[in-house]
Amino acid sequence: QVQLQESGPGLVKPSQTLSLTCTVSGGSITTASYYWSWVRQPPGKGLECIGYITNSGSAFYSPSLKSRASISRDTSKNQFTLQLSSVTPEDTAMYYCARETVSGSYFDYWGQGTQVTASS
């Protein structure tokens, strides 16, 4: 059973950097058949893909967030992280980490999500 758990501060001030960690159990982030993704959902809006990191450590980002997002990993801890710089109130959202299948490009496992508010 694969489980993902987000962790990090729930409140960040505008202009600061948002940093979240996803801890994975029951599966390795180095497994070749999957991508490890960050997704967010602002209040009242749909899901927005932020980016993902592959089993080999290559990261890819949504064009709208590429300039501010950074995804990295720590294979010894089976964790991957999201850093989003220069946050604004528009970055307020529920943030999820999820496993994405290479075949079919769908998310088969999700974390429960963590609310992040960007506010003064």
Query: Measured at the alpha carbon of residue 49, what is the angle toward residues 47 and 55, in degrees to the nearest 5?
Result: 135
φ/ψ of 57, rounded to 5, equals 95, 10
pLDDT tens for 18-45 read 999 999 999 999 999 999 999 999 999 9
What is the pLDDT of the chain when averaged over all its residues?
A: 97
Helices of type H across the chain = none
Going by the DSSP 8-state scheme, the letter that residue 10 receives in this structure is: S
pLDDT tens for 68-86 read 999 999 999 999 999 999 9
Q: Find the Cα–Cα–Cα–Cα dihedral 61, 67, 69, 70, rounded to 10°.
A: 90
**Cα–Cα distance measured from residue 7 to residue 28, given in angstroms and rounded to the nearest whole number:** 18
pLDDT band at residue 105, thresholds of 50, 70 and 90?
Answer: confident
Indicate if the pLDDT at residue 104 is higher than 90. no
